[in-house]
Amino acid sequence: MVQCEMCGTETSSPKTIKVEGAKLDVCSNCTEFGTEVKQPSSSSSSTKYSTGSSSSSSSSGGATSGGSTSSSSGGSRRQDMFDDMDELATDYDDRVRNAREEKGLSQSELANELNEKASLVRKIERGDTLPSDQVQSKLESHLGIDLSAEGGSAEDSEWSGGSASGSYTLGDVVKRKD
């Protein structure tokens, strides 16, 4: 007997459904919460939680030591798409406002020159919205400023990530607004 991954009842014939991108084995009562997924006939080497790279490594030799375990324990952090992105400065709103005022432009004049809406410029200067990459590059080139953070802020540099011994607690990191 298998337990339904949605409600927890025991079922002898679970159905696989997809709910918001996740595949779940559920009982017949819970199939209405998603769309039923037809199982391919040859799914012997991969599980429902495996990725393409881990299923190919497990099916090639059957040993788990040569897969992603050895690459992740090499000491280097895995790369992701955010590593290549520039971080926006925390005071971007002040930088935009000061540069606009130095050029003697109003918010609507700057918006016209950038071919953007004046409300967007107002929201950026108030810090209510972050500029998109396209708007950020327009602002930087037109106003002659840099909106990216230079190597992180002082708050980022003091954080070393803690250690496995548990030397940092949540109280060490969080700043209260009392």
pLDDT digits (tens, 9 = 90+) for 41-92: 554 444 555 454 444 444 444 444 444 444 444 556 676 666 666 788 888 8
The pTM of this model reads: 0.41
120-148 confidence digits (pLDDT tens): 999 999 989 888 889 988 998 999 998 88
Q: What are the DSSP E strand ranges found in 45-164?
A: none
Which residues lie closer than 8 Å to 144 by C-beta, 6 or more apart? 99
Write the DSSP assignment of 13-24 as a string of letters. Answer: S-EEEEETTEEE
Question: Residue 94 pLDDT more than 60?
Answer: yes
Backbone angles phi, psi at 162, to 5 degrees: 75, -170
For residue 115, the SS3 value is: coil
